[in-house]
Amino acid sequence: MPKVHSVDAVTPALSIQPVNFSAKDPGVGGWRFLMEQAKGADAAGIDRLVVSDHVILGENLEAYGDPKTGGMTGGVQPTGPDGHWLDPLVVLSMWAAVTTHTRFMTGILIAALRRPATLAKQLSTLEVLSEGRLEIGVGVGWQREEYEANGVEYEGRGKLLDQTLEICQTLWRDESAAYRGDGVAFEKIHLNPKPLQPCGVPFWISGRLNKNVLRRIARFGSGWIPWGEDAMNPVAGLAQIREALEAAGRDAKGFQVQSYIPVATGAGGKIDVEKTMSVVPAMVEGGITDHRITLDLPKEQAAVEDYLAPLVESFRKAAGRRG
C-alpha cells in the first residue's frame, strides 16, 4: 500500500490558500501560475494548500455580507457574477500531480451540491492518487442561486449536507454498504478504491457554532473551520466543541481547528517574519492546529519557494516543530 503523507493531528501545520478565482479571465498564461505556486509551496515545506468553491454565481452577491443567509457581517464577495472560479477538486487533482509533500484541503466545498455517491468516488479517487494527502472542508454555503441552479432545495441544505457526509463515510467504511434516507436508498453497494486514510477522507466542518453545526461536527468532523463571529475567538469555540464531542462519546484528542496568522509588515511593506510568527506559540497553546496565512504569492515556482521558505522555517521554530 502506498505511504500516506500526513501531518500528525497534534503537529501544528502552516497552510496557504492560493487564489483559484479571478474577477476576469487571467489572459496570457492562463492559470499556469497555480501549478507554479503549488510546486513552490511544496518545495518550501508548506503543510497544506487550500482552495475555495463556487459552482455558479448569481447576481445577488450582497447576500455574502448577511449572516442570516449564512454569510459574514461586512463580507464582500471577491468577484462579480462574471468572475472565473475553478472547480476545487479539479485544481486539487492538478496539484496532486505536481507535488509530493503538501496536503490538500477545500475551504470550503459546498458538498450538498454534489450527488453523494459520485462525490464519495471522486474524493476517494483523488485521495488515493495523492497518496492520502486529501482533507475536505465542507459547509452549507450562503448563495440561494447556487442551490436552485442545481435543482437542490436551499432551505433543506443543512440536512442534505448531513446526508451527503453520512453516505460518503458509509461507502468508504463498508465493503457492502447500505443506506436508507430521504430520497436515497441502497443496499449491497460496493465503492472502490477506499481511501488510504483509515477513517476515510477527513471532513473539516465549517460554520458558526450553532446547535446544527455542533451536532454535525460531533457526528462527522475531524476538524473545524470557524466562520463569522466565532472566527474571532476559535479557542473559545474549541471548548464548546470538546464538550460536544465528549457528549457524543468521542475523544477530542487529535481534533483539528483552523485559524489565521495576522501578517505583520515592516519597512517597505515587506513581511516582518519574526513578528508575524510571534503569535504562533499562543495559538498552539490554545489548540489551533492549522495556521492559515494569507499571502500575495509570486507566480513562478522559484520565487514562491524563496518567498515561503523563511516563513516556513520561522513558523516551525515558533510552533516547536523539529524539521
The answer to whether position 147 is within a domain reads yes
Q: Is residue 203 part of a domain?
A: yes
So what's the pLDDT on residue 69? 86
At 44, give phi and psi (nearest 5°): -80, -20
Q: State mean pLDDT over 157-173.
A: 98
In a domain, 185, yes or no: yes
* Alpha helical stretches, state H, the chain: 32-44, 88-98, 116-129, 144-148, 157-173, 211-220, 234-247, 273-276, 280-285, 301-319
- Residue burial 51-74, b: 16+ Cβ < 10 Å; e: rest: bbbbbebeeebebbeeeeebbbee
Rounded to the nearest integer, the mean pLDDT of the chain is 95
Mean pLDDT of the 72-100 span: 96
Q: Examine the pLDDT at 207 and tell me if it is beyond 50.
A: yes
- Mean local confidence (pLDDT), 161-181: 98
| 225-260 pLDDT tens trace | 999 999 999 999 999 999 999 999 999 999 999 999
Q: For 106-115, what is each residue's pLDDT tens digit?
A: 999 999 999 9
Question: What are the cell numbers at 239?
Answer: 471548548
Specify whether the CB–CB gap between 152 and 160 falls below 8 A. yes
Which element (helix H / strand E) includes 185?
strand 184-189
- Does a structural domain hold residue 6? no
pLDDT of res. 5: 54
Q: What's residue 68's pLDDT?
A: 87
Residue 53, sorted as left (phi over 0), alpha (psi -120 to 50) or beta, turns out to be: beta
Residue with cell 515561503: 308
**Residue 40 belongs to domain spanning:** 13-319
pLDDT at 165: 98
Under the banding of pLDDT at 50, 70 and 90, the label for residue 1 is very low
CA-based angle 159:77:116, to the nearest 5?
30
Answer yes or no: are the C-beta atoms of 98 and 38 closer than 8 Å.
yes
* pLDDT surpasses 70 at 4: no
CATH number of the domain that residue 151 is part of: 3.20.20.30
Residues 18-34: tens digit of each pLDDT: 999 999 999 888 999 99
Give me the number of domains the chain comprises.
1
Query: For the segment 30-74, what is each residue's pLDDT rounded down to a tens digit?
Result: 999 999 999 999 999 999 999 999 999 999 999 999 998 889 998
DSSP state letter for 261: P
Assess contact for 195 and 123: CB atoms under 8 A. Answer: yes
- 104 is a domain residue: yes
The mean per-residue pLDDT over the stretch 63-91 comes to: 94
% of the chain with per-residue pLDDT over 70:
97
